[in-house]
Amino acid sequence: MTNHDETIQAVEAAGQRIADAITPFVGTPGQDAAGGHVGSLTEAVMGMTASLMHIADAVSELAAAVRDAGADAPPVCGPTQNTPE
């Protein structure tokens, strides 16, 4: 067997390990924090992505609220009307 053949076999084996990790397995799927069922790495990553998108949307809404209130809000740093001198 040549080094080339060994390299091809190693790549094939690595590809199979990846495929095994991302395809559903035979058995009982696990349950995630949101109550969903997770039977593969792919499903787990998809669930994490959905959760991160919800977090990003919430941060975006908070940022918009801060921008909207910016002109009327007291300064965050420095003296304010309620700060003793």
Instruction: Tell me the pLDDT tens digit for each residue of 1-40.
Output: 678 888 888 888 888 887 777 666 666 777 777 777 777 7
Domain boundaries, the chain: 29-67
Name the residue among 51, 46, 48 with its Cα closest to residue 24. Answer: 46
pLDDT tens by residue, 67-85: 888 766 666 666 555 555 5
Q: Quote the pTM value.
A: 0.47
Q: Say how many C-beta atoms besides its own lie within 10 A of residue 33's C-beta.
A: 7
Give residue for tokens 């349950």: 31
